[in-house]
């Protein structure tokens, strides 16, 4: 606790979603490390949701942040999507895009890239509309609570997706393990867990603001996921790291697991 891990209150008061989007998801400067990572993630998400058969009725996105990139391929495979985040301003940023407000972040370069991956069956605007129709709710979420969605009751999900959330939400490994168990309460037996996170990152920057990250190693992640009652089906390491002035990670991981049908 003495490490000064970024508190929940600090996120509410200091996390600027617009700065985050401009720094990590602006497809403008072609060769940045951030763009290379985003492309890799989009390819892996496309493979998972469009080629590998991860599909169903309901997907809950845990810790969506202010982003929608992670849902672009998922909306081809799930009838309903629920987006969630702890930080109110991130939920507001998502709502801006869902409602097509003029000041919403422009995701069209990312959407075009995903449409290309998917064989250009539809154009960008049609893809965006499909995702907007699929996102049924935007909810507050706290992964450190035994009921991450609070009093909100949803049917058990077919898939939980979490991208770049858990390492920022959990100050230590016991909390990380507990968060995975908490999330399991939202998932039906046999359901899919898809997680993307940074490896061995202590912090990441949003504008001038520094936010803590739990430095996760591959083996610790695998052990925590298995302990929470999942069987790992895929564990891919992405060797690309963020720009050194943005974060100090050593690559990322992309994990697909399934919740066991019965307790061990």
First to last CA, the chain: 32
- In the chain, the percentage of residues whose pLDDT exceeds 90 is 95
What is the pLDDT at residue 2? Answer: 41
- In the chain, the percentage of residues whose pLDDT exceeds 70 is 97
> Is residue 202's pLDDT more than 90?
yes
What is d(CA 32, CA 124) in angstroms, rounded to the nearest whole number?
A: 23
What is d(CA 188, CA 190) in angstroms, rounded to the nearest whole number?
A: 6
pTM for the model: 0.96
List, as residue ranges, the binding site: 20, 25, 63-64, 69, 85, 90, 142-143
Full DSSP string of 134-164: HEEEEEE--TTSSSTTTT---PPEEEEEEES
> Is residue 3's pLDDT more than 70?
no
Q: Which of 12-16, 31-35, 124-128, 246-250 has the lowest mean pLDDT?
A: 31-35
Tell me what the mean pLDDT of segment 23-34 comes to: 85
Tell me what the mean pLDDT of segment 202-221 comes to: 97
List, as residue ranges, the binding site for S-adenosyl-L-methionine: 20, 25, 63-64, 69, 85, 90, 142-143
Give domain 8-259's CATH superfamily: Vaccinia Virus protein VP39 (3.40.50.150)
Chain centre distance of CA 5: 20
**Average model confidence (pLDDT) for the chain?**
95
Tell me what the mean pLDDT of segment 243-248 comes to: 95
State the pLDDT confidence band at 6, using cuts at 50, 70 and 90. Answer: very high
What is d(CA 68, CA 138) in angstroms, rounded to the nearest whole number?
A: 12
pLDDT digits 0-9 by tens, 43-85: 999 999 999 999 999 999 999 999 999 999 999 999 999 999 9
pLDDT digits 0-9 by tens, 122-159: 999 999 999 999 999 999 999 999 999 999 999 999 99
> Is residue 262's pLDDT more than 90?
no
- pLDDT top residue among 27 and 86: 86
193 in Cβ contact with 166 (< 8 Å): no
State the pLDDT confidence band at 4, using cuts at 50, 70 and 90. Answer: confident
What is the pLDDT at residue 127? Answer: 98
What is the pLDDT at residue 29? Answer: 59
What is the pLDDT at residue 1? Answer: 37
> Is residue 88's pLDDT more than 90?
yes
Q: Name the nearest CA neighbour of 261 among 212, 193, 191, 182.
A: 191
């Amino acid at each position: 606790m003495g490490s000064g891990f970024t508190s929940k209150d600090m996120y509410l008061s200091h996390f600027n979603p617009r700065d985050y989007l401009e720094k990590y998801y602006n497809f403008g400067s072609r060769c940045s490390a951030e763009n290379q990572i985003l492309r890799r993630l989009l390819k892996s998400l496309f493979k998972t949701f469009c080629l590998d058969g991860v599909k169903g009725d309901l997907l809950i996105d845990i810790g969506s942040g202010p982003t929608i990139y992670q849902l672009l391929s998922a909306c081809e495979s799930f009838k309903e999507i629920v987006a969630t985040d702890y930080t109110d301003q991130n939920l507001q940023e998502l709502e801006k895009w869902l409602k097509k407000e003029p000041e919403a972040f422009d995701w069209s370069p990312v959407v075009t890239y995903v449409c290309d991956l998917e064989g250009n069956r539809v154009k960008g605007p049609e893809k965006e509309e499909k995702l907007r129709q699929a996102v049924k709710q935007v909810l507050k979420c706290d992964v450190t609570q035994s009921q991450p969605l609070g009093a909100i009751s949803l049917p058990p999900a077919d898939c939980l997706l979490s991208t770049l959330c858990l390492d920022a939400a959990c100050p230590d490994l016991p909390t990380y393990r507990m968060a995975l168990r908490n999330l399991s309460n939202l998932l039906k037996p046999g359901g899919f867990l898809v997680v993307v996170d940074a490896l061995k990152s202590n912090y990441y920057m949003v504008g001038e603001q520094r936010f803590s990250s739990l430095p996760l190693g591959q083996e610790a992640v695998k052990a925590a996921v298995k302990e929470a009652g999942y069987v790992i089906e895929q564990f891919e390491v992405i060797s690309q790291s963020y720009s050194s002035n943005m974060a100090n990670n050593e690559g990322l991981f992309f994990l697909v697991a399934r919740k066991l049908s019965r307790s061990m």
